Structure 1
C-alpha cells in the first residue's frame, strides 16, 4: 500500500502513538502528529494540514468533569477539523477513529456520532473519501490507567502488587492498539462505515492472565504462555507497565568446584530461541526495534551498556551490566535498543526471543538510538 503524507490528530495520545509507530515500521513514513495546541488555532491547524494527503482523526475526549464536556468536546474537535478542511479546499482522505458507542445514547456516543457526521460532511464537500470505523475497547503498551481502558488500570495495579476489584464480570470485545492502527491505515482512501472486529474476553479472565504473568515473570523470572495473540498482546502491555523499574534482574548463582551455573530463560509452556554472541571492545549490536517480539539480553561476561529509547520519543534509558554480576534486561516492544561493549575484554551475551527468526518477516526494523529531537 502506497501512502502519501499522513497526519494524525491526537497523534501524541495512546492510539495516535501506536499508529505513528506502525506507519514508521511498515510504511516507512513519519506522520504529522497533531495535538491540542494545533487545534487551539484554526489557522495553525489549516497550515499544518495544507500539504498532507490524508488524515487519521483520532483526537477525542474520553473523560471530562461532566457529560456535557465529553459530548461537546468531541463535537468541537470535529468542527475545528471540518473548518480546516474547508479552508484548505482540496480533496482529502480521512479515516475517523470512531467508537462502537456511537450507536448508543450516552454523552460519549452522541459526541462521537456527531463528530462523524460533521467530519464526514466536510470531507465529502471537498471531494475526499471518508472511512468511519467504530472501534471496540482498545488496549496495549503505554495506556493510561484510569483513562484509556480497564486493561491499563488492571496492569497498573497488578504491577504495583495490588489486586483490582472486578465489578460486574462480563465479556468485553478487546482489540490491541496495533491491530486498530492497522485497520485505520488500511482504510485510507475508502468510503466505509463499519464496526471493527474484536475478540470477546471476560473482564475477570483479563485480570487472571495479568496476575499469572506477574507471578511467573516478576516473581519467578519465567516467560509465561504467550502462544495466542491475546496472551502475547496482554503480556506486552504488562511488560510496558513494568518497564523500567523491574530491571535489571540478577538470578541466583549456583557454584561448585566446576564453576557457576545460572538459569537465563525458562519459557513457561511456550517456545522460543536463545543464542550467544561475542562482541569486541567498542563494538555495538542492535540499533533496531520490534512491533511484537519479546526479547531478552543476558550479559554473561564483560562490561556492557544497554540503551533503549521509546519509539518517537527522545529520552534514553541506559543500563550498565557486568559479567561480574550476571544480569539481564528485556527489550519492550516498540523501543529502539542496542548493546555496546564498554569494557577492555570480549563481551559475551546471550539473547532470547519468543519466536524463531523468520527471514521473510523478521519483525525487526532498523533505527538508531541517537537522533535529532522529535518535534
Structure 2
C-alpha cells in the first residue's frame, strides 16, 4: 500500500529555525517529526525500489525456468501467474513513484503538511488508490498459490484447507474493508478506523503463510519418518522443507516488522511497507524458480519397486510410479508378489511434484518436470 502515513504527522516538537546564513539552516519550514516521517517515507521507497530490482531479475529467471520446464501442461498457467504478479509489482512501484514525484517535486509546498500532506490527501484519488489495490491483490494471489500447493500435496483433500480457507476468507474481507476505509475522503491507512481493519488484515496474512508452511512441512517430514527413509533420502524432504521455510521467513520477517510498528503507530512502518510489497512477490518467485530448477534437491530416492531415476546431461529421467490406490495420501503401495506393504518408489522429482503437480491423485503418477 502507499507508504505514507502516521497518526501524528502534524504534531510539532518545536518550531524549525528560519533558513538563512545566520542559522545555517536551509531545510523546510515543517515540524521536525514531519520531516522525520518524510525521511522514513523516502528511505522506504528507495529500499522498495531495490527490492523491485530483485523482483525484476527473478521474473526473468522464472520465465526462463518455466519455458524450459519439461512439464508442458504446467507452463501456461504458471507463466501467466508469474507475468500477472510481476505486472502488479511493476504497477505498485510506478504508482508509488508517481505519487512521490507529485509530493516532493510538483506539490512540495502543499499547504497543511507539505509533501506528506499532499500524499495523504491523495489517498481517495486514483493516484493513491492504485498502489493500494495492486498491493492487496498481489497479497491475495501470493497466499492463494501457497494454499494451492498445500491442497495438492495433501492429495486434493479439502479438509486440510478448512482453517486456512477461513483465514484466507477473513484476509480477503479485511483487505476489502481496509481499502474502502482508507480511500474515504480525509482518511488513509493510518487513520484510527482504518487501523482497526488494516491490522487484522496484515496479521491474518502472515499467520496464514506460517500455518500453510508448517502444514506442508509436516506432511513431508511425516512421510520421511513413517517409512524410515535413509539419511540421503530423508535429506531430500528436509531440503524441500528448508526451501519453503526460507521463502516464508522472508515474507514473515518484514510482515512482523511492519505489523509491530504499524500497530504502535510508529513512523518506522513507512520503512517496511514498500519493501513488503515486493517481498510478497519475491517469495513465491523463489519457490517457483527452485522447484523448476531443482536447486534444493540433488539426491535420488529409490523405492522397493525398482523404478529409479538417473541424471543424464542435465535432464532428470525418471520411471513410472505405481500406486495400489488413488489415495496418494497414504503414501504406500503393496507388492503383489509378496503381499508386503512397502513405501512407494519415490525419487527427487516426485517429491518436487508433490508440491506443484495437480496430477497428484492419479493411479499412475509419471515423473515429469514440474514448475
> So what's the TM-score if we normalise by structure 2?
0.26
Q: Which has the higher helix share?
A: 2
Greater Rg, structure 1 or structure 2? 2
> So what's the TM-score if we normalise by structure 1?
0.26
